[in-house]
Structure 1
Amino acid sequence: MTKAERALETRERILTAACEVIADIGFENISMRKVAEHAGVSKALLHYHFDTREKLFAEAMTHSFAQTGLDTEDDTGSVPAAVVLARILRSMLPTDEELRQDWKLWQELWVRAQRDPAARHLAVDLYEQLHAWVAGAVERGIASGEFRPCDVAALGTLVLALCDGLGIRVMLDDPRVDLATARSVIWRTIAPALGIPPEFPEI
């Protein structure tokens, strides 16, 4: 392994550890020492890669976001657009323990964004990427004839709003909204605009 590869591996390990610690105890309670211990590196090495908690938080959020939904679409393009969109929705909800951790990080970002301009800009940028992710799947379905032509931007905004609102209820273990209910509500809401069946597809 080259020096550059070792540095990259160390950076990835730190970011993974930071995501886990922030999700576990919240950003306001973390210290660089706690993250270093969790990552199995020295505090000096951690500061070499990230000189402030704020920079570490921003990089951790970006790292977490980059890992979300890597399996939503195959390289051959053979997966139907409805299935791709359904996989994206699955990845945007707290579907499993890994995604619940991502949601905890998002909740930390929402809180920080109210007080910190840098966090607010990061949140807006990540939402823009989510919007593009949804829009890409919808545009693909329209191009292939699987979806009815629609206002793609408006539909993307609706999907993100529904995922946020229902996802929070799932995170709260609200008995009225479990994952199946959240998926069903979102799909039934967007299905008429896309001209597809209202049942959430098998993915």
Structure 2
Amino acid sequence: MTRTAADRGREVRRRLVQAARELVPERGWTAVSTRTVAERAGVAPGLVHYHFASLQALLAEAAVGALREMIDGVGELLQQARTPTELVDLIAAAVDRYTGTDPASLLAVETYLAATRDPGLREQLGAVLDEFRDGVARQLREQGVPDPVATAAVLAAVVDGVLLHRALGPVPAVAQVLHRIVAEGEH
């Protein structure tokens, strides 16, 4: 079957996004260049700007897309929780998959840092986090946890904090502490 120009274009775009997802954790957001992304993707550098308005637009799409996939996966997992304690245990188990120095953790850290300097990226990343917090808050509300919106925000912040701290050294298990935060909903 013959591939069309549109198919080839989608494949180039996919390869550029994948290359960016790999390079940001390896080199850091600001050390990724058009040339390095193109080399990693196996395409001419001019194709980066053909497919994306800028290198920053490519990096944002790659990083936000990867983080959305991570968060959506955790959100789907959390749907299994029948109690606030189970919800916390599922969050803790999901976080335990990340060391703080693995590529996904580093991509998250780099993206958060870049978002402090890029309002467009901050808005995109904020939308992903808002969706996650809203989903957790909805579950907490259904499970009777007081102030579910604030509790969901704290749980999400704890996840981020644990990943940041793990990059520097071991972090004690947080599930027991988080159980106390949501325990009021189980009475």
Name the Cα RMSD after superposition. Answer: 3.0
Matched, 1:81 2:82: yes
- The one-letter amino acid of 2:151's match is L
For residues 103-134 of structure 1, give each alpha carbon's deviation from its aligned partner in whole angstroms, at most 9, with x where no partner exists: 22222233223333223323332321221232
5+ residue gaps in structure 2?
A: none
More helix per residue: 1 or 2? 2
Match runs of 1:4-153 below 5 Å: 4-72=6-74, 73=76, 79-82=80-83, 86-91=89-94, 93=95, 95-96=97-98, 100-139=102-141, 142=142, 147-153=143-149
Q: 1:136 to 1:85 in 2, by over 3 A?
A: farther
Give how far 1:18 is off: 0.2
Runs of 4+ residues deviating >6 angstroms: none
Displacement of 1:159: 0.4
**TM-score, length-scaled by structure 2:** 0.78
C-alpha change, 1:149 and 1:29, in structure 2 (3 Å) is closer
**Aligned pair count?**
181
Displacement, 1:32?
0.8
Partner residue of 2:180 out of 182, 185, 189? 189
Larger RCO of the pair (alpha carbons < 8 Å, separation 6+):
2
- CA-CA distance at 1:42 after TM superposition: 2.0
Q: 1:154 is matched with which residue: 150, 155, 175?
A: 150
User: In structure 2, how many angstroms separate the alpha carbons of the residues matched to 1:106 and 1:164?
Assistant: 9
For 1:200, the equivalent position in structure 2 comes to none
- Work out whether residues 94 and 103 of structure 1, in 8 Å CA contact, stay in contact via their aligned partners in 2: no
Overall identity of the aligned pairs, in %? 27
2:164 corresponds to 1:168: yes
- Partners of 1:23 and 1:94 lie apart in 2 by 19
Output the TM-score relative to the length of structure 1. Answer: 0.72
Contact 1:94 1:167 in 2 (8 A): no
